[in-house]
Amino acid sequence: MTAISTGCFGACTKEETPDMSYDFLVKQEDKKDGLEVYKPKSRITYSFQIKCPLCKFNLPKEERTILQDIITNSSENKLDSLFSKYNEEADSADKIDNISDLGKIYNQIQEMAKTVEAKRFYKHTCTRNEECKRTENQDIYFDLCFVSPQESIAKNLKVDYNKLKTDENYRQNYLDNKKIAHEKYIRKQKRKEIEDEYRSEFEDYTFLKERNLYEEVKRNFKFLYEQHLQNEERKGPYEIRFEFQASSQFALRKNDLKYSGSQKKFLSFVRDLTGQNIYENITMGNREYKEFQKFILERDSEYADYLD
C-alpha cells in the first residue's frame, strides 16, 4: 500500500482556533511505518470532516483539496456506486443469464478496490509544536477508509461472483431465481402493454362520467385565480404583491375529481391559465385501477392471463 505524501502542504494551518471537542479520527493500536494511524468513526464524505487529531486545528486549504480529490475519485464512495451498479444488475429481470455482465462490473469493483487501498493512507505533518508541547513536527497517517475495500465488497454485494464461477449449485440456484424473476417481468411487461393500449380509451370514458363535475371544478378554480389577480391589482404601490400559488391550489382541488384522466385535464387547464410550471405525478388509486382492470377484461380476455 502506497501512502500519499502531503509534501509542503502537510502542515497544520496557522489560522483559526482549535476544536478541542474534535474526535472524529481515532488513534489505532497498529502503526504504519512506525507512525500513528488515525481512523474515522464513520464514512468520510467531505474533506472538512478531517482535522488534525493532534492539535485539533483545521487543515490548510491545499491539503483539504488533495484529500477531497482522493475522497471524490478514489474512496469508499466510488466503490458504493459500483456496488449499486452490480446489485442492480444482479436484481435485473430483463434476462436470465447475466453472469458475464456481473463479471464485467465485478472486475471494475476489484480495480477500484485496488485504487482505494493504494490511496487510503494519507501522511500528515502536524507543525503545532507549541500547542502540542513538542520539540519537533510529528508525522501521522490518516486512514481514509471506514471499512477496508475487500471487507466492504464482502458486505455489500448481493451475489458472490466467485461462487457463481466455482460453485455449480450456487450458480444454478441463481439462474433458477433469475428465471422466476424473468417470467414475472415478462408478465408485467405484457400487462403494461395491454394497459397502455386501453389507457386513453379508459380516460375518455371516465372523463365523460364526471364531465359536469370537471367543468364545475375548473370554473371555481378560474374564479379563485381571477379574484387573486384583482386583489393584487388593487394594492397600492408600497404594498407587497404575491404570486398566485398554482401548484398548492391545484393540489388542494385535484381530489375533487375521482379519476386520474380528469385530473390530468385539470392540470393542463391550470398550467395554461396561470402560465406556471406545476410538477405533479398523477397516477391511479387502487379503486380506479380495479375499475380500469375490469374495463380491460370486458374488452380483452387475454389480459386475464397476465394478472397476478
- What distance in Å separates the CA atoms of residue 256 and residue 207, rounded to the nearest whole number? 13
Which tens digit of pLDDT belongs to each residue from 77-86? 899 999 999 9
pTM: 0.74
Write out the three cell numbers for 101.
455482465
- The answer to whether the CB of 8 falls within 8 A of the CB of 17 is no
Same-domain check for residues 153 and 202: no
Number of domains in the chain: 2
Compute the mean pLDDT over every residue in the chain, rounded to the nearest whole number. 93
Using pLDDT thresholds of 50, 70 and 90, give the confidence band for residue 74.
confident
Same-domain check for residues 117 and 26: yes
User: How far is residue 308 from each of residues 87, 185, 191, 197, measured CA to CA in Å?
Assistant: 26, 12, 10, 19
**CA-wise closest residue to 117 among 34, 27, 2:** 2
- Establish if 2 belongs to a structural domain: no
Same-domain check for residues 160 and 241: no
Which tens digit of pLDDT belongs to each residue from 152-163? 999 999 999 999
Same-domain check for residues 201 and 80: no
Same-domain check for residues 154 and 261: no
Which tens digit of pLDDT belongs to each residue from 172-230? 999 999 999 999 999 999 999 999 999 999 999 999 999 999 999 999 999 999 999 99
- Establish if 176 belongs to a structural domain: no
- Establish if 253 belongs to a structural domain: yes
- Establish if 175 belongs to a structural domain: no
Domain range enclosing 74: 7-166
